[in-house]
């Protein structure tokens, strides 16, 4: 299998949950990890976890809704660590609410975080990846990008959009040696959309962030002549 030691990996949304688990796993595999998140305390905790157990990490406070901050994160990676080899777009947000109760601010926050930010990061790293003939982009979507749910219309719209964006981008850049993969997790035990408030019995049946990190590990270890375009992960038992 391929080796990602000393490869440069950028993970957005790495302050907690799935993003944190992915960043730690990539660090464990020997990658030089650059992490971004809006929460300064959580981001620093992730960096400390990586440094105390598996390696080193560069933490850059980043609001992925803001183009300048996205560019700052990726420019730091490229200039201070090295050309980006792996990009994992994990930053996400959501609101569970009927459409009639949605505000414009809610809508903008969800679409800008879950979809526009991925466009911004990909557009930034792709020229270097294409020029080098290598690179791997992994976008974390959701089962909500496959099936609609009541009170999640805007969240689902953002994830459906991310699925389509990822599939189209993969076709654009595969001939340049750049791989683009999609992971769609089912119910995962994080504090996203109030999942941390569910009963312990329900949470035991949910996926863990480590399950998603394991899928990322599988993707980045694929041989160069192939790539897994999409992974759908569901809990064995319905929560």
CATH (domain of 205)? 3.40.50.720
In a domain, 107, yes or no: yes
The CB-side HSE value for 201 (13 A sphere, CA atoms) comes to: 0
How confident is the model over 180-211, as pLDDT tens digits?
A: 999 999 988 887 655 555 666 677 788 899 99
In a domain, 189, yes or no: yes
In a domain, 238, yes or no: no
90, 11 contact by CB (below 8 A): yes
Q: Which residue has the higher pLDDT, 188 or 162?
A: 162
How confident is the model over 99-124, as pLDDT tens digits?
A: 999 999 999 999 999 999 999 999 99
Mean pLDDT of the chain: 93
Q: Which residue has the higher pLDDT, 218 or 204?
A: 218
Hey, how many other C-beta atoms are within 10 angstroms of the C-beta on 161?
18
In which domain, by residue range, is 226 found? 8-232
Domain total in the chain:
1
Identify the pLDDT of residue 194: 57
In a domain, 216, yes or no: yes
In a domain, 74, yes or no: yes
Residue 8 — very low, low, confident or very high, per pLDDT cuts 50/70/90?
A: very high
In a domain, 1, yes or no: no
Catalytic residue among 11, 34, 110, 155: 155
How confident is the model over 73-83, as pLDDT tens digits?
A: 999 999 999 99
Q: What is the pTM of this model?
A: 0.93
What DSSP state is assigned to residue 136? E
Instruction: With a cut of 60, say whether residue 1 has pLDDT above it.
Output: no
In a domain, 3, yes or no: no
User: What are the φ and ψ backbone dihedral angles of 181, each rounded to 5 degrees?
Assistant: -125, 155
CA 183 – CA 161 distance, rounded (Å): 14
Q: Which residue has the higher pLDDT, 191 or 214?
A: 214
Closest CA to 74 of 40, 120, 19: 120
How confident is the model over 18-70, as pLDDT tens digits?
A: 999 999 999 999 999 999 999 999 999 999 999 988 778 999 999 999 999 99
- CA terminus-to-terminus distance, the chain: 34
Instruction: With a cut of 70, say whether residue 176 has pLDDT above it.
Output: yes
Instruction: With a cut of 80, say whether residue 13 has pLDDT above it.
Output: yes
Segment 135-157 mean pLDDT: 96
Is 107 a catalytic site residue? Answer: no
In a domain, 239, yes or no: no
């Amino acid at each position: 299998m391929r080796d990602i030691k000393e490869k440069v990996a950028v993970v957005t949304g790495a302050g907690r949950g799935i993003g944190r688990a992915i960043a730690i796993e990539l660090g464990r595999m020997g990658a030089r990890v650059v992490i971004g998140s809006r929460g300064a305390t959580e981001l620093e905790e992730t960096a400390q976890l990586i440094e105390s157990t598996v390696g080193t990490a560069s933490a850059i406070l980043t609001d992925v809704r803001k183009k300048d901050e996205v560019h700052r994160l990726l420019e730091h990676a490229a200039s201070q660590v090295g050309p980006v080899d792996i990009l994992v777009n994990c930053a996400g947000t959501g609101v569970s609410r009927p459409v009639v109760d949605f505000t414009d601010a809610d809508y903008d926050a969800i679409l800008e975080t879950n979809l526009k930010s991925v466009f911004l990061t990909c557009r930034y790293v792709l020229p270097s990846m294409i020029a080098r003939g290598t690179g791997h982009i992994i976008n974390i979507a959701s089962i909500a990008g496959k099936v609609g749910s009541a009170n999640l219309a805007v969240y689902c719209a953002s994830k459906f959009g991310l699925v389509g964006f990822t599939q189209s981008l993969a076709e654009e850049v595969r001939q340049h040696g750049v791989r683009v993969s999609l992971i769609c997790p089912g119910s995962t035990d994080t504090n996203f959309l109030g999942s941390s408030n569910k009963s312990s019995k329900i949470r035991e049946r949910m996926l863990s962030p480590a399950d998603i990190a394991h899928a990322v590990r599988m993707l980045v270890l694929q041989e160069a002549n192939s790539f897994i375009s999409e992974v759908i992960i569901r809990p064995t038992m319905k929560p």
